[in-house]
Amino acid sequence: MRGPERKAQLLVVARKVFGRNGFHGVSMDDVAREAGVTKPILYDHFSSKEALYLALLDADSLELEERLRSALAAPTGNRERIRASFQAYFEFVDEHAEGFRLLMQETVGANDVFRSGVGRVRNRIMQEVSDLIVRESKGQLDREDADTVALALVGMVETAARHDPGGPKDRRRRSVDTLVRLAWRGITNLTL
Protein backbone atom coordinates (compact mmCIF):
# COMPACT_ATOMS: atom_id res chain seq x y z
CA MET A 1 0.00 0.00 0.00
CA ARG A 2 1.34 3.45 -0.91
CA GLY A 3 2.06 6.11 1.72
CA PRO A 4 -1.05 8.28 1.28
CA GLU A 5 -3.33 5.24 1.08
CA ARG A 6 -1.76 3.73 4.19
CA LYS A 7 -2.11 7.03 6.06
CA ALA A 8 -5.79 7.27 5.10
CA GLN A 9 -6.35 3.67 6.19
CA LEU A 10 -4.64 4.33 9.52
CA LEU A 11 -6.85 7.36 10.10
CA VAL A 12 -9.99 5.31 9.46
CA VAL A 13 -8.89 2.67 11.95
CA ALA A 14 -7.70 5.21 14.52
CA ARG A 15 -11.04 7.07 14.28
CA LYS A 16 -12.86 3.90 15.28
CA VAL A 17 -10.45 3.06 18.09
CA PHE A 18 -10.38 6.59 19.54
CA GLY A 19 -14.13 6.94 19.02
CA ARG A 20 -14.72 3.87 21.16
CA ASN A 21 -12.21 4.57 23.91
CA GLY A 22 -11.22 8.26 23.80
CA PHE A 23 -7.72 9.66 23.64
CA HIS A 24 -6.52 8.43 27.03
CA GLY A 25 -7.97 4.94 26.62
CA VAL A 26 -5.96 4.16 23.48
CA SER A 27 -2.31 3.37 22.85
CA MET A 28 -0.40 3.37 19.59
CA ASP A 29 -0.17 -0.41 20.06
CA ASP A 30 -3.99 -0.58 20.01
CA VAL A 31 -4.20 1.37 16.77
CA ALA A 32 -1.40 -0.62 15.09
CA ARG A 33 -2.93 -3.94 16.14
CA GLU A 34 -6.40 -3.00 14.87
CA ALA A 35 -4.93 -1.68 11.59
CA GLY A 36 -2.93 -4.89 11.13
CA VAL A 37 0.40 -3.05 10.93
CA THR A 38 3.48 -2.87 13.07
CA LYS A 39 3.97 0.02 15.44
CA PRO A 40 6.97 1.31 13.42
CA ILE A 41 4.72 1.62 10.36
CA LEU A 42 2.26 3.64 12.40
CA TYR A 43 5.10 5.87 13.65
CA ASP A 44 6.29 6.35 10.05
CA HIS A 45 3.05 8.24 9.44
CA PHE A 46 2.40 9.83 12.84
CA SER A 47 5.15 10.86 15.25
CA SER A 48 3.01 10.37 18.36
CA LYS A 49 -0.42 9.50 19.62
CA GLU A 50 -1.15 13.22 19.93
CA ALA A 51 -0.10 13.79 16.29
CA LEU A 52 -2.42 10.97 15.18
CA TYR A 53 -5.30 12.38 17.20
CA LEU A 54 -4.73 15.89 15.86
CA ALA A 55 -4.72 14.51 12.31
CA LEU A 56 -8.12 12.93 13.01
CA LEU A 57 -9.52 16.14 14.48
CA ASP A 58 -8.21 18.09 11.49
CA ALA A 59 -9.68 15.67 8.94
CA ASP A 60 -13.10 15.58 10.59
CA SER A 61 -13.16 19.32 11.16
CA LEU A 62 -12.26 19.98 7.54
CA GLU A 63 -15.02 17.70 6.28
CA LEU A 64 -17.63 19.29 8.54
CA GLU A 65 -16.56 22.80 7.53
CA GLU A 66 -16.68 21.91 3.82
CA ARG A 67 -20.19 20.50 4.14
CA LEU A 68 -21.45 23.54 6.02
CA ARG A 69 -19.69 26.02 3.74
CA SER A 70 -21.30 24.37 0.73
CA ALA A 71 -24.76 24.48 2.34
CA LEU A 72 -24.38 28.13 3.35
CA ALA A 73 -23.23 29.12 -0.14
CA ALA A 74 -26.20 27.52 -1.90
CA PRO A 75 -28.15 30.08 -3.94
CA THR A 76 -31.52 28.69 -2.87
CA GLY A 77 -32.75 31.34 -0.44
CA ASN A 78 -32.12 31.87 3.23
CA ARG A 79 -34.65 29.43 4.64
CA GLU A 80 -33.25 26.66 2.43
CA ARG A 81 -29.69 27.62 3.42
CA ILE A 82 -30.70 27.16 7.04
CA ARG A 83 -32.25 23.79 6.25
CA ALA A 84 -29.27 22.66 4.16
CA SER A 85 -26.74 23.66 6.81
CA PHE A 86 -28.70 22.02 9.64
CA GLN A 87 -29.14 18.89 7.51
CA ALA A 88 -25.41 18.86 6.67
CA TYR A 89 -24.56 18.97 10.37
CA PHE A 90 -26.96 16.14 11.23
CA GLU A 91 -25.69 14.04 8.31
CA PHE A 92 -22.08 14.51 9.41
CA VAL A 93 -22.98 13.37 12.91
CA ASP A 94 -24.92 10.37 11.62
CA GLU A 95 -22.36 9.28 9.04
CA HIS A 96 -19.29 9.93 11.17
CA ALA A 97 -20.36 9.16 14.70
CA GLU A 98 -16.79 8.40 15.78
CA GLY A 99 -15.47 11.63 14.29
CA PHE A 100 -18.21 13.69 15.85
CA ARG A 101 -17.60 12.04 19.20
CA LEU A 102 -13.92 12.98 18.86
CA LEU A 103 -14.80 16.60 18.16
CA MET A 104 -17.20 16.82 21.08
CA GLN A 105 -15.00 14.94 23.58
CA GLU A 106 -12.13 17.29 23.05
CA THR A 107 -14.15 20.46 23.52
CA VAL A 108 -14.39 19.56 27.20
CA GLY A 109 -11.20 17.54 27.55
CA ALA A 110 -8.13 18.54 29.47
CA ASN A 111 -5.82 18.91 26.46
CA ASP A 112 -5.55 22.58 25.45
CA VAL A 113 -4.20 21.69 21.99
CA PHE A 114 -7.26 19.58 21.18
CA ARG A 115 -9.71 22.02 22.74
CA SER A 116 -8.23 25.03 20.95
CA GLY A 117 -8.27 23.17 17.61
CA VAL A 118 -11.95 22.38 17.95
CA GLY A 119 -12.58 25.93 19.16
CA ARG A 120 -10.96 27.36 16.01
CA VAL A 121 -13.23 25.23 13.82
CA ARG A 122 -16.31 26.29 15.76
CA ASN A 123 -15.24 29.94 15.50
CA ARG A 124 -14.74 29.69 11.72
CA ILE A 125 -18.19 28.15 11.31
CA MET A 126 -19.78 30.82 13.52
CA GLN A 127 -17.96 33.54 11.57
CA GLU A 128 -19.36 32.26 8.27
CA VAL A 129 -22.87 32.08 9.70
CA SER A 130 -22.52 35.57 11.16
CA ASP A 131 -21.23 36.95 7.85
CA LEU A 132 -24.25 35.48 6.08
CA ILE A 133 -26.64 36.96 8.66
CA VAL A 134 -25.12 40.44 8.35
CA ARG A 135 -25.18 40.29 4.56
CA GLU A 136 -28.70 38.93 4.25
CA SER A 137 -30.23 41.20 6.91
CA LYS A 138 -29.26 44.17 4.71
CA GLY A 139 -28.22 46.33 7.64
CA GLN A 140 -31.04 45.37 10.01
CA LEU A 141 -28.70 43.34 12.23
CA ASP A 142 -25.27 44.60 13.17
CA ARG A 143 -22.18 42.41 13.63
CA GLU A 144 -22.59 42.03 17.39
CA ASP A 145 -26.19 40.82 17.10
CA ALA A 146 -25.31 38.56 14.15
CA ASP A 147 -22.48 37.02 16.19
CA THR A 148 -24.92 36.27 19.01
CA VAL A 149 -27.43 34.70 16.61
CA ALA A 150 -24.68 32.63 14.94
CA LEU A 151 -23.48 31.37 18.33
CA ALA A 152 -27.04 30.38 19.25
CA LEU A 153 -27.70 28.63 15.92
CA VAL A 154 -24.46 26.63 16.00
CA GLY A 155 -25.00 25.67 19.63
CA MET A 156 -28.61 24.68 19.01
CA VAL A 157 -27.81 22.44 16.05
CA GLU A 158 -24.74 20.94 17.71
CA THR A 159 -26.72 20.03 20.83
CA ALA A 160 -29.71 18.63 18.94
CA ALA A 161 -27.52 16.60 16.58
CA ARG A 162 -25.83 14.94 19.57
CA HIS A 163 -29.19 13.56 20.70
CA ASP A 164 -29.67 10.06 19.27
CA PRO A 165 -26.93 10.18 16.57
CA GLY A 166 -27.63 7.68 13.84
CA GLY A 167 -31.23 7.34 15.00
CA PRO A 168 -34.14 6.70 12.65
CA LYS A 169 -33.88 8.94 9.60
CA ASP A 170 -37.50 10.11 9.79
CA ARG A 171 -37.00 11.25 13.40
CA ARG A 172 -33.72 13.00 12.48
CA ARG A 173 -35.46 14.74 9.54
CA ARG A 174 -38.26 15.85 11.83
CA SER A 175 -35.70 17.29 14.24
CA VAL A 176 -34.14 19.29 11.41
CA ASP A 177 -37.57 20.53 10.31
CA THR A 178 -38.39 21.66 13.86
CA LEU A 179 -35.06 23.46 14.23
CA VAL A 180 -35.52 25.18 10.86
CA ARG A 181 -38.96 26.48 11.86
CA LEU A 182 -37.59 27.69 15.20
CA ALA A 183 -34.57 29.38 13.65
CA TRP A 184 -36.46 30.91 10.72
CA ARG A 185 -39.18 32.39 12.88
CA GLY A 186 -36.61 33.72 15.31
CA ILE A 187 -34.33 35.24 12.71
CA THR A 188 -37.10 36.85 10.68
CA ASN A 189 -38.61 38.37 13.84
CA LEU A 190 -35.25 39.92 14.71
CA THR A 191 -35.28 41.95 11.52
CA LEU A 192 -38.90 43.20 11.66
Alpha-carbon distance of 175 to 160, in angstroms, equals 8
**Residue range 48-100, pLDDT digits in tens:** 998 998 888 888 888 889 999 999 888 788 888 889 999 999 998 888 776 66
pLDDT at 10: 93
| Residue 16 pLDDT greater than 70, yes or no | yes
Alpha-carbon distance of 62 to 156, in angstroms, equals 21
Residue 35 region, left (φ>0) first, then alpha (ψ -120 to 50), else beta? alpha
Start-end of H helices in the chain: 3-21, 28-35, 39-45, 49-73, 78-95, 97-108, 112-137, 143-162, 169-190
Residue 109 region, left (φ>0) first, then alpha (ψ -120 to 50), else beta? beta
